[in-house]
Amino acid sequence: MESMLGVVVAKYNYWLYVVLMMIGFYAMIGKRNLVKKLLGMNIFQTAIILFFVSMGAKRGGGIPILDKEAALAGAVKVAEVVNPLPHVLMLTAIVVSVSVTGVALAVMQRIYKEYGTLEEDEILDKIGRS
């Protein structure tokens, strides 16, 4: 039991990402309001970003800005800098996430103009009646 707790505490960042992801997932699937769905989507994406970012992090690692002379001399200690690649990847992922959100918001505006509401139930109701 204690070891279990140990696992959780030692890798709390991963547990956090799983919890966040589940929250986002629930909101995307379970919520009936389109804005809430979209928020769920953002939480979901953020969870993955967190996952990637923590993947690159190292205890005691510094920022990966290297002295050119030292690096060329071959004196880079990998353990002393965090892995920059996942972070760079996440810059792209954030761009993707922002653009998806932007598109979703625009689409939602069109839905609101069409139906006057963003509640899925009410929209389906209106479609059913028309």
Partner 1 sequence: MTSNLPLYVLAAPLLTAFVVNLAGRFWRGSVAILSLGALLFSTISAVLVLQQVLTHGTIHYTVGGWQAPWGIELVIDPLAALMLALISVVALLATFSALASARQELPGREHLFFTLYLILISGLLGLAVTGDAFNLYVLLEITSITTYCLIAMGKGRAPLASFNYIIMGTIGACFYLLGVGYLYMLTGSLNMADIQSILPGMYGSISVATAFAFLLVGVWIKMAFLPLHGWLPNAYTLAPSSTSVLIAPLMTKVAVFLMIRIIFSIFSPDYAFFQHVGVQHLIVWAAALAILIASGLALAQTDLKRMLSYIIVAEVGYMVGGVWLANTAAMTGAILHIVNDALMTLCLFLAASAIVYRLGDSKLASMKGLYRRMPLTMAAFTIGAFSMIGVPPTAGFFSKWYLILGGIEAGSWAWVYVAALLISSLVNAVLFFRIIEIAYFQGGGEHGHSAEMPRQEACAWQLSPLLLSAVALLAIGLAAGPLVEHLIIPALPAGF
Closest approach of partner 1 to the CB of residue 66, in Å? 16
Q: Using CB under 8 A as the criterion, which residues of the chain lie in contact with partner 1 when the complex forms?
A: 25, 28, 34, 37, 41, 44-45, 48, 51-52, 55, 85-86, 89, 92-93, 96, 99-100, 103-104, 106-108, 110-111, 114, 123, 127
Taking 3-state DSSP, the helix, strand and coil percentages for the chain, each rounded to the nearest 5, stand at: 80, 5, 20
Closest approach of partner 1 to the CB of residue 22, in Å? 13
Of the two residues 3 and 92, which places its CB atom closer to partner 1 in the complex? 92
Closest approach of partner 1 to the CB of residue 33, in Å? 12
Closest C-alpha to 90, from 55, 40, 63: 55
Of the two residues 70 and 96, which places its CB atom closer to partner 1 in the complex? 96
- In angstroms, the CA 39 to CA 94 distance is 15
- The 8-class DSSP code of residue 64 comes to S
Closest approach of partner 1 to the CB of residue 70, in Å? 21
Contact 112, 118 (CB under 8 A): yes
Within its chain, how far is the Cα of 26 from the centroid?
Answer: 14
